[in-house]
Chain A
Amino acid sequence: MSNPLEKIDDYRWRIPKSYKPGMRVDGIIYADELLLKDIYRDKALEQVANVAFLPGIVNASLAMPDIHWGFGFPIGGVAATDIENGGVIAPGGIGYDINCGVRLLKTNLQYEDVKDKIKDLTCALFSNVPSGVGSKGDIRVSVKEERDILLKGAKWAVEKGYGTQDDLECCEEYGAIAGADPEAVSERAYERGKAQSGTLGSGNHFLEVQVIDQLYDQELSDAFGLDLGRVLVMIHSGSRGFGYQICDDYVRQMVHCLQKYNINVPDRQLVCSPVNSPEAKAYLGAMRCAANYAWANRQCLTHLARMSFEKIFNSSWQKLGMQLIYDVAHNIAKIEKYNINGKEKNLCVHRKGATRAFGPNHPALPDRYKKTGQPVIIPGDMGRNSYLLVGTKKAEEETFGSTCHGAGRLKSRTAASHSINLNALLKQLEAKGITVMASGKGTIVEEAPEAYKDVNEVVDVVHNAGISKRVARMRPLGVIKG
């Protein structure tokens, strides 16, 4: 594509709606000049322009600095549509891995406590947490229980003894989004989801033991009870095959909605339907089931991680201080209220590879985070850093309360597997003190640090643009991959 970008300021760039006939709003990309060079490498900007075609879209088709080429929506894309004004929901704007997300657990351990045990700890995690393609968990559920999971989300897991009430308070939507409709879920999705509760999955999903290596704000660090050298645990997983099936089922159905509702989109992967249509209502009911499935899944994984720490440190997880800091969704659509041109509107906010980032005092936040703003968890790659940030009022004003979700891919999986040598990579990671265990060796290469943008650059942009605020930076010690 020719360069359509107009500079708004150092961290924002506009694709004017005149760029393509059919765009209803501008595209706005959050990036600095450095990251833009990477963004130009693939077709992500074209996708930002395509999303601007969605009926009812308000303000702008947004992209976060970790934007990269997806299908239909770019990864790192945010779009909100006005429900009362023909606004649509697009399953591709949520993606196949519905409520792929990440959670961060605290410990009261310091680096000194774990440095000699990190290999044993990583091994224990690897053997306790089912990972890899199509992996099946030890936490087996009946069909009736599966329906319960879809309605109760993480609460189901807590009722089974896999966590506490406190964990639920520290989840986006308190671990279960309302409006899940198990009747909208196909038999096939039930079958596909049955065996996969409590599994990590493959690809970019991971469980990491990390240590805080930098703090940015004393007041916020104190509020979260974090200090330098403290050990944290990060879990990245989603709704597994259950979510893929729901997305597939509804993309199939909504292909017919384009003609039925006279919708024109430039990419069929952007199929969509007005939020008030029966097709969209059914999708929302099913998507919420998958979101709840994912929250239950991450809660089960939390339990397995806590059990592994108990084994290695010979102490209860409570004594080890393994409280949940927060759990956020990266791939989801939410109905949220925003003020648009002086009027309060109900919007359908699509976050495709983006994190909700509500500022202080937002009513959706639990009391403990009212003062700080919502914790935002940004995983990086396995060789560099991850971050804890907080959301801001500015994000609520500019980006429908959204920020980036990770480092963002730079190299394709095939390019990574051709150019990166596994043994050299493992040596490099070992030299940095990072232990990696994976079900598939191919995954380690495909997920190598050089396949990703530098998360530090991505986080600099969202911090400097004011749509989130840095609290702590972590580096990995032990990594398990699918």
Chain B
Amino acid sequence: MKNYELIEHTADIGIRLKAKSLNELFKNAALAMFEIMAEDKSPVACHRSPVKIDIEQKADNIEELFINWLNELLSLSAVKELIFSDFAIKKLTEKSIEAVALGEDASDYKVNVEIKAATYHQLKLEQSKAGWLGEVIFDV
């Protein structure tokens, strides 16, 4: 089941997601972004072993960190020709993230949409009793 919903935006695509923790929010936003971009086209058994990529990002606050995290993943995905299918977040504070992203060969995927970037426009990261709510708009 999808862990996000799409937000209507005239030119672009946005997502709204809920998570129990900040850790889950970062992970689910990244999963959603790559789910919008690409769909798996080959049977699981045919997949080559995923590549593990270490990711470290720093920022002045949580919003910047969130945007930097997503944009770093987009950038790496383009350069290394990978689609990221899972993430293990090892350490997350308001100002830094250390994670491992599992990347699969992009040729095993059908890429539907090119996401240019995650933007600050109408970005929302809110903590509530139930956990975290996030909204982000992608430039496509």
Residues of A within 8 A of B (CB): 41-42, 44, 68-72, 75, 92, 95-97, 132-134, 188, 191-192, 201-203, 241, 244-245, 247-248, 251-252, 255-256, 267-269, 271, 409-415, 440, 442, 482
Question: 22 A–B contact pairs at CB < 8 A?
Answer: A42-B9, A69-B9, A72-B120, A72-B121, A96-B139, A133-B112, A134-B111, A188-B79, A191-B79, A201-B114, A202-B113, A241-B78, A245-B75, A255-B60, A256-B60, A267-B121, A268-B123, A409-B10, A409-B11, A413-B13, A414-B13, A440-B112
Q: Which residues of B contact A72 (CB under 8 A)?
A: 119-121
Query: In the complex the two chains form, is B123's CB within 8 Å of A134's CB?
Result: no
Q: Which residues of B contact A440 (CB under 8 A)?
A: 110-112
Q: Could you say which of A71, A203, A251, A269 contacts B114, with CB atoms under 8 Å apart?
A: A203
Q: Which residues of B contact A247 (CB under 8 A)?
A: 117
Query: In the complex the two chains form, is A442's CB within 8 Å of B116's CB?
Result: no
Complex Cα gap A241–B113 (Å): 14
Q: Could you say which of B8, B13, B74, B121 contacts A269, with CB atoms under 8 Å apart?
A: B121
Complex Cα gap A31–B11 (Å): 19
Query: In the complex the two chains form, is B114's CB within 8 Å of A133's CB?
Result: yes
Interface residues of B in 49-97 (CB under 8 A from A): 60, 63-64, 68, 71, 74-75, 78-79, 81
Q: Which residues of A contact B126 (CB under 8 A)?
A: none
Instruction: Compute the total of residue contacts between A and B using a CB distance below 8 Å.
Output: 104
Given contacts A41-B10, A202-B114, A268-B123, 19 further A-B contacts (CB under 8 A): A70-B12, A71-B12, A71-B139, A72-B121, A92-B119, A95-B139, A97-B116, A134-B78, A134-B111, A134-B114, A191-B79, A203-B140, A245-B75, A247-B117, A255-B60, A411-B10, A413-B12, A413-B140, A440-B112
Query: In the complex the two chains form, is B112's CB within 8 Å of A442's CB?
Result: yes
Complex Cα gap A292–B68 (Å): 26
Complex Cα gap A192–B72 (Å): 12
- Given A71-B139, A134-B106, A267 contacting B8 (CB threshold 8 A): no
Q: Could you say which of A68, A95, A132 contacts B111, with CB atoms under 8 Å apart?
A: A132
Query: In the complex the two chains form, is B117's CB within 8 Å of A244's CB?
Result: yes
Closest 6 CB pairs of A and B: A71-B121, A268-B120, A96-B116, A133-B111, A133-B114, A71-B119
